[in-house]
Structure 1
Amino acid sequence: MAQAVRSKGLDLARVVAAALDELDDVGLDAISLRGVARRLDVQAPALYWYVSNKRALLEQTATELWRTPIRAVTVTDGDAIPPWPELIGEYMRRLRASLLSRRDGARAASSAVIVDDALLREIEPTLARFSAQGIAPDQLVDLFQTAQHATVGFCINEQHRTTEPVDVAERAKRLADTPHVAAMGELVVGDADARFARMTDLIIAAGHATLDGDASAQRASS
């Protein structure tokens, strides 16, 4: 079996790439090891050299969706490090683009964990640099986790909204007797890019409230 797998030029990267293409074609609910194997022109047991079951396949697939966003906001020891608000905004934008690039991408990423230790190790210099600036790693991780969950949820809604697009202006006319409610239309169902930008700004503002508040408390107690 090992020789047959090698003769096909199979490796984990090819398996994950095939899984992403299969996700595009059949969706998250229908993806299977058998379908991915068929795409690679091998038997399903050949994939067990790389993924032990469907859950492991989905975790590898989700990790690939996170790879570019994470690398976009990590630095090496010698790099200049941007301010954390800039990194969080960039992470959210890159993550949204990655999730929307694949059918059911947001759902695929929503319940999986990163399983590439090498990718996780790439985060260490960034956390260390911020820690040296007085921002505790747990604070930064909490902020990025909040940003990540908000982005994934937003993208799930984008990819799986089942209603027809809303005519915001026509809706506002119907609700003219309740002007505050009428004004909600653009905020709730208006342009997705604008809504995502506002959500990003809110999360960064919350981060400022947390980090700036902690810094003020530390100065007051010293």
Structure 2
Amino acid sequence: MATRLDRKLVTDTALRLLNDVGLEGLTLRRIAKELGVQAPALYWHFKNKQELLDEMATELYRRMNEPVLAAGGGFGGDWKGMLTTACLGMRRTLLRYRDGGKVFGGTRMRDWAPMQPMETYLASLTEAGFTPDRAARAWFTTYAYTIGYVIEEQSVFPVPGDPERDPAYDQEDRVRRLGADYPLTAGAGAEMFGDTARGFEDGLRVVIAGIEAVLLHDR
């Protein structure tokens, strides 16, 4: 019995193919081949690649927030822990997919159901004393930091789960080429392109400390 072609099957197939072909290689024609159908069959479900990317981002948002929904979203007033948990989960999910940050950034949600976690995050912030507008700014700041960091991180380590760097980020080569004239810049590569997990958590602590200092009591 033939598998019924629907939006979910196409989206799941596209996400699975990402690790093989990356964002640039992901085309409706390539997805159709994987599904054993002709490309025009997909246009019943998605008018173009951007519409498919929006659906893929919506599915990624669902997946990254599953732990929050399963736990009922309770953070006991710990807004810092809430932001940290949300951003760590976002990064972890996006890193599972090649070019996951690029796929997710700049897209639009295709339905409103995934918005429940965001409502939970904003409620946690307002309960902690943030005004609604400052809560929105706090959330979007950490969100943008996470997406931007993941995009940069995936340029260094493009293949999910593979510790090999892109050759363009080889630290020894960087020191050899830059060290004589730009020693600080050459040395900075080890911090910026080394332990990216630690770097992300360091940066997130900085962002959250800034949110507390600037936005929490900003009326």
User: TM-score w.r.t. structure 1 length?
Assistant: 0.76
- Deviation, structure 1 residue 151: 1.6
Residues 125-152 of structure 1: CA deviation (Å, up to 9, x unaligned): 4434543554233322222221122122
Query: Which residue in the other structure is 1:127 paired with?
Result: 122
The equivalent residue for 1:165 is 170
- Alpha-carbon distance in 1 for matches of 2:202, 2:73: 33
State the partner residue of 1:57.
Answer: 52
**Aligned equivalents of 1:84 and 1:102: distance in 2?**
28
Q: Rate the CA distance shift 1:197–1:130 in 2: closer, same or farther, 3 A.
A: closer
- CA–CA separation in structure 2 for the residues paired with 1:126 and 1:156: 23
- Measure how far apart 1:187 and its partner are: 3.1
Check if 1:198 corresponds to 2:202. Answer: yes
Deviation track 1:46-87 (CA, whole Å, cap 9, x = no partner) reads 223332211100111122222233344468989454511111
State the match for 2:22 in structure 1.
Answer: 27
**Distance in 1 separating the partners of 2:68 and 2:208:** 15
Matched, 1:93 2:88: yes
How far the C-alpha of 1:12 sits from its partner, in A, is 2.1
In 2, Cα distance between equivalents of 1:212 and 1:21: 40
- What CA RMSD, in Å, does the superposition of the two structures yield over aligned residues? 3.1
Alignment pair present for 1:208 and 2:212: yes
TM-aligned CA distance change 1:196 to 1:76, over 3 Å: closer
Matches of 2:73 and 2:94, distance apart in 1: 30
Please give the per-residue CA displacement for 1:8-56, whole angstroms capped at 9, x wherever unaligned.
Answer: 3222221111011222221111211111122122222322333221110
CA contact (8 A) 1:68 1:94 kept: no
More deviation in 96-105 or 121-130? 121-130
TM-score scaled by structure 2? 0.77
Asked whether the 8 Å contact 2:99–2:154 carries over to 1, the reply is yes
8 Å Cα contact 2:75-2:81 kept in structure 1: no
Distance (whole Å) between structure 1 residues aligned to residue 130 and residue 27 of structure 2: 43
Residues 164 and 137 of structure 1: is their aligned pair in 2 closer, same or farther, counting only changes over 3 Å?
Answer: same
Separation of aligned partners in 1, 2:59 and 2:73: 26
Give the residue type in structure 1 aligned to 2:106.
Answer: S
Unaligned runs of 5+ in 2: 157-165
**Structure 1 residues 111 and 212: alpha-carbon distance in aligned structure 2, compared to 1, 3 A threshold:** closer
- Output the CA distance in 2 between the equivalents of 1:25 and 1:127: 36
- Are the counterparts in 1 of residues 28 and 42 from structure 2 also a CA contact under 8 Å? yes
Q: Aligned match of 1:152 in 143, 147, 169?
A: 147
